[in-house]
Amino acid sequence: MSENTIALLAGGCIIALSAFMFIRERQAVARRKEARGGKDLDVSDLIAFGAKAATKKD
């Protein structure tokens, strides 16, 4: 195989792995959101209020 073919295959593998990781992360985010009852947590609230921010009622 030529260098160009190897480079193309390596690039394709990197792109495929990136897409796979992105899809898995989106699934994990959906599972975490479902576990919280559909609520989105704001990171600034977590920093300011800690665990209370995750348990407070709206």
Domain-by-domain residue ranges, the chain? 3-55
Answer for the pair 42, 58: CB distance below 8 angstroms, yes or no. no
Mean pLDDT score, 51-56? 66
What would you report as the CA-atom Rg of the chain, rounded to the nearest whole angstrom? 20
Whether residue 9 has pLDDT greater than 60: yes
Higher pLDDT, 57 or 22: 22
Provide the pLDDT for residue 47: 76
For the chain, counts of helices (H) and of strands (E): 3, 0
Of residues 43, 12, 32, the one with CA closest to residue 24: 32
40, 47 contact by CB (below 8 A): no
pTM over 0.75: no
